[in-house]
Structure formats: structure tokens, C-alpha cells
Structure 1
Amino acid sequence: MGYKSMPSLISLRAFESVARNGSFKRASEELCVTPGAVSQLVKKLEEQTDKKLIVRRHLNLGLTEEGTYLAKQLSKAFDCVNHCINEIRDIPELKQISVAAPDTVISRWITPHLSEFLRGQPNTHINLVSEYRAEEQSMKSLDITITMTICKKMEINEPIVTDELFVLAASHQFVEENMSEGIASLNSIPLIGIANNSILFDEYPQWVEVFTELKLPYNTNRQFVDFGDNIEKAIEAAVNGIGLIILPSFLASNEIESNLLVPVYTKFYKKKAKIKLSISVLTREANEVDIFYSWLLHRLSSIDIDHEIEENRILSN
């Protein structure tokens, strides 16, 4: 629908103000223009509608039948516009927070838990950026970074969140059906392999190392399901009862917390990989960034399944 033939908004506002105030002078004060300008705008509106809208008297003004109808409808329309404007003003501004993290951390941890944060902060938009893409961006555009490193000494604003703790895990059904003999069960059950199951390092615990630590012979011809670099598929296979998997507890925290996987043995990696959380100096004082930073720190710090695993350990030396 076009509005080319409609009178100008300023002339309609001038007429509505004159009709409501009953005076060109009071209308001019409301609109911050001269009474003469208001009179000219109303006259132009009458010409455009080809109708007389106002009856000009010596001491006061009156409205014609057409003028009364138009004034009533314009009053409703301007009230509606004013209501819409107030509603728009009341809409909270969407707050943008940019977070850079390794792909695995984004897919295996942040994304599954993000809805928990957004339920309490619905007007916040979290922009998750892969650490590889972050290198291409200006660091000034990032509010929070999650990095993984070997940490000998941490800065105050870069708290250590968790160690790289490795777990052997399987589904409840798999454990009940295949691991009743404890350590001896490892000689006959299927094992799930991942090309690099460490969060950070190329050197990572191999199944042969686990067998050596548990003082068990390792049969290279045993049943072995290899998923290459596909951690998601490997974890899915373990949840579905395909075999026993070895991986960092951080990557399996969702499945362990929801009891889809049962940890049966734990091992701290000798190099003690750390995950650290850093907040941009430029946005440190921004309230929304500080809220998300605090939530991340609390939520990441809550991934502490070592105590629970120790109590429920199935394998032991």
C-alpha cells in the first residue's frame, strides 16, 4: 500500500493539535512553531482533502463534521504510534559477547550448556569463535578467550580451571554385561580408539600404556574399533555399548554427568594440561561480559568428576 497521496505527517499533527487544544496558539506552543505556520499547515490539509475541517471564529475555533471525524481518528492513530515508540524504548538492548575457544571445547562443552546461561540472560547474544578464526580477527573484538596450555604459573586474571584427567568409560549396560571380572575383563572386551584423544598434545595415552600400567598383557590382535579423529562418533559408540573408550574427562563430562557413560578408571596425564579462562582488559568492566565470565568460570570449575570416580572405581591395581 502506497502513501504518496496522503497529506504530510506534519500537517496532520498540526490539525490534530489544533483540534485537541482548541487554539492555534496553544498548538504552536506544543509543536514549537509559530501560530501562522500552524494555520498554513491546516489550510494546506483542507486543500488536500478538499474539505473544510475547522470553523474559524473570532474568539474560538470549531470543527466541522469532517474535522471532528478526522481529529478523532488521528488522535487514535497518534496514541497508537506513541504506544509503539514507548514499547520499542522499553526493549532491552541485545548484548553481544564474543568468546574464542578451541573447536572441541565449543562443541563438547559450551554449546550443550549455553541454554542454561541464556535462560537467565535472554537479552545476551554469545558469539562463539573458533580459536583458528580468532587468530584472523583483531584481539580487540574478543571479550573472553578459553585456551589450553601447560601452565607453570598463571596470571591472576587467568585462573586454572581443570586438569586433563583421562578416564576409561563405557555404558552402564556394557559394564554390567562385560566387566564383571574387573581388570581381567580388559583382555576380552572391545576397545574404542581415537587417533588423538588428548585435548592439547600429540603425545597421548595409548591403550598399550593402560595395559602396562594395569600389569596386563596387551594383545595386538584383539577386537579394536578405530574412529580416527572423530571424537563425536567414538563417544557415541561408547554410549551405545560398542566398547570401552579412553578420553579426557572434560570431553566426556556431559555423558558422565547424565550417566550415559560410567568411568571405570582414571589417570592424570603426566604433562598436566590446563584450561585457562581470560577476559579482555578492554571489556573487563562491562557487566554482561563479567556475568558470562563468572558463569563460565563456575561452570567449568564444576567439572570435577575425580572424587566421584574414585568412589565408584571398577578397576584397580
Structure 2
Amino acid sequence: MPRPYDLPSLTALACFEAAARKASFKDAAQEMNVTPAAVSHQIKALETDLGCSLFVRRSRGVELTEKGAFLFLSIRRGFEAISDTVAQIRDRRETVDVTIRTTTAVSSLWLTPKISAFWKIYPAVTVSQITSDVPGVSGPCDLSIHYGDPDENGVEHRILFQDRIVAMGTSAFAAQYRITSVEDLLKVPLIHMSNEENGWTTWADWFQALGRGAPKGRSFYVNNYMIALQAAQDDVGAVLGWDGLVKGVMDAGRLVPLVPETVASPVPFHLKIHAKATAQSRLFADWLVRTT
């Protein structure tokens, strides 16, 4: 497999940087705790690799050639950037009090605004999100949000909300296709989620719940709910919306209900509290349930 960066030996580059900064192989060797011969060997190998001389050897030290100076400037900038990043990492607080896992849609549409409100009340409690749209993917976390049957293996859970499912589109889309009834929706372009592993209600489910047959309009398939919402806002088609989840989108008028009929979501969004949840995690969980 080819290396991702077209670089010579990093050891040779480090020796070169020290020798260039000190203008001396001997002083560079002392800084790096190696022999001057080792530094000289590394730099000679680097010059061979690059096909040019990097130093002019003098009796009292070394001087950079034009190409050597050009390389030294680039390496110095790189090392300074790395040094700044390392300093920031060392100084940064690593403690995370609460780790919560959810999908990108739930994170963007519902959870992130909730966390912002939580921090105004509990500024000392740090909350970290892990987002994943791959069904079944799990990992270390204190809490996780799911859509589906919460009675699973006896895991502790709290119900967050159980939505009504709305057919949504833009006002322009509704006017273009003259949508006034569910029957009209059967003929218009619809946006579908292509990964049904998440168990979300489909258009076929939605129409069946209202006593209608299968839709006959054009179908557009995406594998991410945020993309589906954006496509609907771009007038690609109508999309199903869980009213508690997409409340912000509807309140902003970016999407509107296309017909008055709605369908009750068959399952709720719920919060799982994992076995190693901290006291701060339970504080956050209680607050989420209480303010939903």
C-alpha cells in the first residue's frame, strides 16, 4: 500500500531540522542525544533521497544551501503547527461527564438544541455526542436515543416522545401539484428512505394506515433523513415528518403539512440508560424527559 504522504525518513527530517537550527551537526547531536556521526549519516541519506545538497560543510559548522533553506522553512512551519496542536491537547480538559449516542437527524433536529438549553442551567456538566446512522452500531456511551420498541433485553429506558407522522413539503410544492387531499399525494413525487432497517414508517405504511393503496407517483430514494428533508425543501418531493422531531423545521416554515390527516407513530423515541451511566448522565436523562 502506498504511503499517504510523499515524505523521506522522519528521523532524517528531525536531524536536518536540528542541524539547520543549530548550524552544527555536533550541537544537533547533543540535543537529540545521538552521536554527530549519526546525525551526519541521516542528513547524507536525506540528501541522497532528495538528490541535492542541503548543507555546505565548513570547518566551524555548516551553512544551508538555497534548497536546504527552503526545506528548513517548510519543516519549521510544520513543526510549529504540530507543537501548537500538542500544547492545545495537553491543556484541554479531557473529562466528559455524559456521552450520548444518536442519529445525525435526531442530533441536528432535536438533541443539539436541547443540549444548548441544558448547558445554560448546568454549565459545569460536559455532554459529548456520538452520531451514527448505521443500524446496530454500538459503542461506549452512557445514554442513547432510539426509535422503536423500548422493551428490549430489560435495558433501563425513558420514553421521550411519540409523534404523529405528517406528510410535508414546501408551500410552492403544494401549489405546484395542487395538493388538497391524501388522494392527491398518491400521485405526486415522494421522497423515500432507502435504509428501512431503522424501522421508520414508510410511505406505504402511512397510506395504508389511512386506508389508501400504494402511491403511484415518482419515487426518490435517499439513505439519510437530513438529506430527505433538504430534498423536500428543494421541492424534489413530499417527505414524511415526525412532528416532535421536525417541529423546528415546521415552525420556521421551511416545510408545511400538505394535508390535515396524520398517522400516529407506532413506536416512540426513547432514551436508553446504559449500565455504566454516571450520576451526571442520569441528571441529564431526567432533564431531557422533564423538558420534552
Tell me the TM-score normalized by structure 2.
0.52
Check the 8 A contact 2:97/2:125 in 1, yes or no: yes
Q: Which is greater in Rg?
A: 1
SS at match of 1:234: helix
Question: Which of 252, 261, 264 is matched with 1:268 structurally?
Answer: 264
For the Cα contact (< 8 Å) 1:108–1:251, is it kept in 2?
yes
Q: 1:168: which partner in 2?
A: 167
- The answer (yes or no) to whether the contact 2:169–2:235 under 8 Å persists in 1 is yes
Q: CA deviation at 1:156?
A: 11
Q: Which residue number corresponds to residue 210 of structure 1?
A: 207
- Tell me the CA shift for residue 168 of structure 1: 0.8
Q: Which residue of 2 aligns with 1:129?
A: 130
- The Cα RMSD (Å) is 3.9
Q: Return the match for 2:286 from 282, 290, 294.
A: 294
Cα deviations by residue, 1:119-150 (Å, 9 ceiling, x for unpaired): 3333332111247798343xxxx433333431
User: What's the offset of the Cα at 1:267?
Assistant: 1.3
Supply the distance in 1 between the matched residues of 2:277 and 2:180 (Cα, whole angstroms): 55
Amino acid at match of 2:194: A
Check if 1:190 corresponds to 2:189.
Answer: yes
C-alpha contact (below 8 Å) 1:164/1:248 kept by paired residues:
yes
State how many pairs are aligned: 196
Matched residue type, 1:297: V
Looking at structure 2, the residues matched to 94 and 181 of structure 1 have their Cα atoms a distance apart, in angstroms, of 53
Deviation at 1:256, TM superposition (A): 2.3
- Residues in 2 aligned to 1:97 and 1:217: alpha-carbon distance in whole angstroms: 44
TM-score for both structures, normalised by structure 1? 0.48
CA distance in 2, matches of 1:193, 1:156: 31
Uncovered stretches (5+) of structure 1, i.e. residues with no partner: 1-92, 302-317
Task: Tell me by how many angstroms 1:94 deviates.
Answer: 7.0
Q: Does 1:254 align with 2:245?
A: no
Contact conserved, 2:187 with 2:215, CA < 8 A, in 1? Answer: no
Letter in 2 for 1:100: R
Residues of 2 paired with 1:208 and 1:110: CA distance?
27
Q: Is the 8 A contact 2:168 2:240 kept in 1?
A: yes
Q: Kindly state the Cα deviation for residue 236 of structure 1 after the two structures are TM-superposed.
A: 0.9
CA offsets 1:157-194 (integer angstroms, 9 cap, x no match): 63322235422111233334534543443255332222
**Alignment-mate amino acid for residue 160 of structure 2:** V
Quick check: 1:100–1:134 contact (8 Å CA) kept in 2?
no
**Counterpart-to-counterpart distance in 1, 2:192 and 2:203:** 9
| TM-superposition CA deviations, 1:212-231 (whole Å, max 9, x none) | 84546743xx3x25132132
Structure 1 partner of 2:236 = 242
What is the identity, as a one-letter code, of the residue corresponding to 2:162?
D
User: Could you say if the C-alpha distance between residues 119 and 227 of structure 1 is closer, same or farther in structure 2, counting changes exceeding 3 Å?
Assistant: farther
Corresponding residue of 2:220: 226
Q: What corresponds to 1:201 in structure 2?
A: 199
Identical columns (%): 18
Distance 1:248 1:293 in 2: 21
